[in-house]
Amino acid sequence: MDTVYKLVALDMDGTVLNKEGAVSPENRKWINAALEAGVTVSFSTGRGVQSALPIIEEMQLTTPIVAVNGSEVWERPGKLLRRHLMDAEVMGRMHALAVEYDTWYWAYAVEGVFNKEKWLDDPSSVQWLKFGYFTEDSDKLRLIRATLETWGGLEITNSHPNNLEINPGGISKASGVGEVCRLLGIGMHEVIAVGDSLNDIAMIRAAGLGVAMDNAQDAVKRAADAVTATNDEDGVAHVIRRYIFGEQPAERSGE
């Protein structure tokens, strides 16, 4: 018997959002159709909740949120379920590495977003959630990643080919979606997860059905069970139509 999926976990950038950073009318229509059918549709994003909320509020969603690659899980907008913090000393070391390699960097804290143009003299003065590097120099990214891997205890992914995103070890979108499943009383086998970047791979592998966008990084496509259309071709709507409602829009098989 076909699995009845009860949760659709959606990445934001490059997945639900098109190149203009908007939710298309078609994606919105089918997300709402899934909700009306009793399926939970949740965002699982690398964004901090402060960055994700404008879109969530615009869509009038009251479902759980996995934010900052799993470092925060919200039962609903405004109600925190779980938070996983990054050690301030490790944040200081990652900041020093960014300065050493002269990259753009940013970090999410409970208290706000900090970056190369706005940093703190005392990293221990806030509660850290995630650190990120951005550079178009692939050699710099490779060297930074190699250094971080020697430290251990870190979850290293990306949300774009030109960045690195670092969370506490064991914290990922998969761990966040798992917490949402426990909240809802369902299993990971009842989840559809959709994404496009390395920070989506863990949840794509852990879900009952993992779907990569056609614009996804190649490693994500290899990890997925299926590949849908691009974020500019309403790929999320295709997934919901096919796997929630049993319709058959054009679909690519997984790689």
Closest CA to 236 of 2, 17, 4: 17
Phi and psi at 204, nearest 5°, equal -65, -40
Q: List, in order, residues 6 or more apart from 164 with CB less than 8 Å away.
A: 132, 133, 141, 144, 145, 148, 156, 157, 158
Q: List, in order, residues 6 or more apart from 147 with CB less than 8 Å away.
A: 97
Tokens 């994700």: give the residue.
52
* Residue 232: active-site member: no
Name the catalytic one among 2, 11, 13, 102. 11
Phi and psi at 41, nearest 5°, equal -115, 120
Angstrom CA distances, 172 to 33, 58, 72, 77, 160, stand at 28, 26, 10, 20, 16
Residue 125: is it exposed, middle or buried by C-beta count within 10 angstroms (0-12/13-18/19+)? Answer: exposed
Count each helix (H run) and each strand (E run) in the chain, helices first. 8, 14
Q: CA-CA distance, 154 to 29, in Å (whole number)?
A: 38
- What amino acid positions are annotated as catalytic residues? 11
